Amino acid sequence: MGALLAPAGPVLAQVSGDQVATADFSNDTWWIVLIKAVGIIVFLLTSVLIAIWFERKVVARMQVRPGPNVHGPFGLLQSLADAMKLLLKEDITVRAADKVVYIVAPMISVFCALLTFAVIPLGPQVSMFGIETPLQLTDFPVAVLYILAATSLGVYGIVLGGWSSGSTYPLLGAVRSTAQVISYELAMGLSLVSVFILAGSMSTSQIVESQTQVWWFLPLLPAFVIYFISMVGEVNRLPFDLPEAEGELVSGFMTEYSSMKFAWFFLAEYINMLNVSAVATTLFFGGWRAPWPISAINDGMFNEGWWPVLWFLAKLWFFMFLFVWIRGTLLRFRYDQFMKFGWKVLIPAALVWIVAVAAVQGVRQFTDVDLQTLLFVLAGLAVVGVVVSFLVPERRQAPVDTGPEEPFDAFAGGYPVPPLPGQTLPPSPRRLRAERAAEGGGGTGTLAVTAAPDQTDTPEDEDEEGTRG
């Protein structure tokens, strides 16, 4: 694994001194830009159809069943049939909805999802219709910040869709999505800071160029783990699919959507899966660069021309497989577990790792210590620290004795509220009458009272039973 484990010193010196060359777009004409833009859209839409079939097929294999196998060879046309079904279904608009926002919300989600791939490098400089151009639509010095901004704006589609539906469950899903983005967007952004420190740039093409000798997921393993967990939460996938938890919220923010408006939300979710997988590939897995030992064949001939597109797609679909694998393996988190994990584990771990990487970079400027050794030691310490944090038992406070509590009245506020732990409901009036009758008249009295309550209940008792359920 020489190409991956080679010392990163020369790369860092090159980046910190003379900046590596970014992608050269000077030869691009308007029609080359148009071809790239249309190609990205076609690639994403086609990949979504393949991803739906891929997910259903892989989950089916994990559950020992065939999966889609009727429409087309190996069921490949099943996703197309599903898309046509959604296109032809009746489009229902909820009467209580804010109609303008209700229609615009899924469009916001899809539009923001399509923005990310504009700065993702799919390959090096190639010849396209006689013009030398990079396999990338555009790039600029803060391209990664642009990606984070686009993903942050995408959540507005979920929030506005849930709020504008005029229903309780969609609103709860929208509120959950807001908390989820705040929690896991912070952890995701912090996990990328260490990449910026080592690569010396936020440009995606420069970050790929800085991984010529070592892919950043190796020396920055804790940051990669934090990013991977955060990206699963960012796209609302199991075990973090709380905004659309079918078992609790019917379908969350999408409950009141149907036909193509529902399909737009569905499309945005799968495009976002492709987006975060592409970002992981670009920032941590060498981008379009071939893995070792393929990269060492004939002086890197497989890192030139159109071959790198193949390596990029292979890495992209590796992360898509991990999404499906996690869905078929893990159960959904409880909401309190989800929030605790984001704020008490991921964010502190990311902050500690940033300080460690910055300290290592500062030490290297004054000493000749090997960077690779330092980063691997720090990565090991960080992983051990995270594991130990899960093993330490949580300190529980002793319950405060407040004396005897009064019976909990679930209907005191006019709305039924279940009792909390430690609270007890008052005894049922019907049960009290049955016990009194049993004490006075034996077992037959109990049977008589419970079998024919209408003969013994007064109108006042009926009203009280109706109030208390």
- What was the pLDDT predicted at 453? 44
CA dihedral 227, 233, 236, 239 (to 10 degrees): 120
- What was the pLDDT predicted at 336? 80
Residue with tokens 């030139």: 304
- What was the pLDDT predicted at 253? 81
The Cα–Cα gap between 454 and 303 comes to 86
- What was the pLDDT predicted at 228? 92
Rg of the chain on CA atoms, in Å: 29
Q: What is the pLDDT along the chain (469 residues), one digit of tens a residue?
A: 333 333 333 333 333 334 444 677 888 888 899 999 999 999 999 999 999 999 999 999 988 898 888 888 888 888 888 888 888 888 887 888 888 888 899 999 899 999 999 999 998 888 888 888 888 888 888 999 999 988 888 888 888 888 888 888 888 888 888 888 888 888 899 999 999 988 888 899 999 988 888 888 888 888 999 999 998 888 888 788 777 776 677 777 878 888 888 888 888 889 999 999 999 999 999 888 888 777 777 666 777 888 889 999 999 999 999 999 998 888 888 878 888 888 888 999 999 889 888 888 887 777 776 766 776 777 777 788 878 878 877 777 666 666 556 666 666 666 667 777 667 777 777 888 888 888 876 544 444 444 444 444 444 444 444 444 4
Per-residue 3-state assignment (H helix, E strand, C coil) for the chain: CHHHHCCCHHHHHHHHCCCCCCCCCCCCCHHHHHHHHHHHHHHHHHHHHHHHHHHHHHHHHHCCCCCCCCCCHHHCCHHHHHHHHHHHCCCCCCCCCCHHHHHHHHHHHHHHHCCHHHHCCCEEEEEECCEEEEECCCCCCCHHHHHHHHHHHHHHHHHHHHHHCCCHHHHHHHHHHHHHHHHHHHHHHHHHHHHHHHHCCCCHHHHHHCCCCCCCCCCCHHHHHHHHHHHHHHCCCCCCCHHHCHHHHCCHHHCCCCHHHHHHHHHHHHHHHHHHHHHHHHHHCCCCCCCCCHHHHHHCHHHCCCHHHHHHHHHHHHHHHHHHHHHCCCCCCCHHHHHHHHHHHHHHHHHHHHHHHHHHHHHHCCCCCCHHHHHHHHHHHHHHHHHHHHHCCCCCCCCCCCCCCCCCCCCCCCCCCCCCCCCCCCCCHHHHHHHHHHHHHCHHHHHHHHHCHHHCCCHHHHHHHHHHC
The Cα–Cα gap between 179 and 192 comes to 21
pTM over 0.85: no
Reported as half-sphere exposure (CB side, CA atoms, 13 A), residue 155 has a value of 22
> ∠ at Cα 291 (55, 208), nearest 5°?
90
In the chain, the N- to C-terminal Cα span, in Å, equals 70
- Residue pLDDT, tens place only, 230-253: 988 888 887 887 777 766 777 778
